[in-house]
């Protein structure tokens, strides 16, 4: 879809927003095809954070990346062939939105097990149902999409003394 990324230090805030908008527009009417019997297809916004500007710009970019993933997921759902059993979700990582992705799950068993993470190296704990990332950030979510959030805890075996903690939000089917 989008071309190669330029060096992050040379890309302006406005250019990053344009690249995100182009990705969303390019996804309209498109639905990824399953390749090589893969269980899923994933896409990430073609932009990196690498903050050069203010905290205000960084937060605006995080919000734009999150909204773009929701929009691309909605576009894929709208373009999904009638006979397809595939499920689609924006998987938003907060606050590290550059790790977010849109996933198309071709295997229903994999889709149903995707949110179950409870191992020695990674755990997703459901957030209270009254929490809503879309409400907190003012994101637009089509009514047909479900939103559910998790507290993520993970451990990199190469640095076990520094666990990673963040939130993961599934918005989609």
99 vs 115: CA distance, rounded Å: 16
d(CA 160, CA 172): 33
Strand partners, 45: none
Specify which residues 153 forms β-bridges with.
123, 165
Helices then strands, counting H and E runs in the chain, come out as: 4, 6
Cβ-contact 152, 99 below 8 angstroms: no
Given pLDDT bands bounded at 50, 70 and 90, which one contains residue 153?
A: very high
| Residue 106 CB neighbour total at 10 angstroms | 19
The per-residue pLDDT for range 56-69, each reduced to its tens digit, is 888 999 999 999 99
pLDDT given for residue 4 in this prediction: 53
Given pLDDT bands bounded at 50, 70 and 90, which one contains residue 1? very low
Its pTM surpasses 0.85: yes
């Amino acid at each position: 879809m989008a071309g190669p990324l330029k060096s992050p230090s040379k890309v302006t805030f406005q250019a990053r927003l344009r690249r995100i908008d182009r990705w969303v527009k390019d996804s309209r009417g498109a639905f990824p095809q399953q390749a090589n019997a893969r269980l899923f297809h994933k896409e990430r916004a073609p932009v990196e954070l690498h903050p050069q500007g203010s905290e205000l710009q960084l937060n605006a970019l995080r919000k734009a990346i999150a909204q773009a993933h929701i929009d691309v997921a909605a576009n894929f759902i709208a373009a999904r062939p009638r006979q397809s059993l595939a499920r689609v979700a924006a998987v938003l990582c907060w606050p590290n939105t550059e790790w977010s992705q849109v996933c198309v799950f071709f295997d229903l068993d994999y889709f149903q097990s995707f949110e179950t993470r409870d191992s020695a190296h990674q755990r997703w704990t459901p957030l209270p149902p009254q929490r809503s990332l879309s409400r907190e950030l003012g994101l637009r979510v089509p009514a047909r999409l479900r939103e559910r959030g998790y507290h993520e805890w993970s451990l990199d075996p190469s640095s076990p003394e520094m666990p990673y903690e963040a939130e993961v939000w599934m918005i989609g089917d």
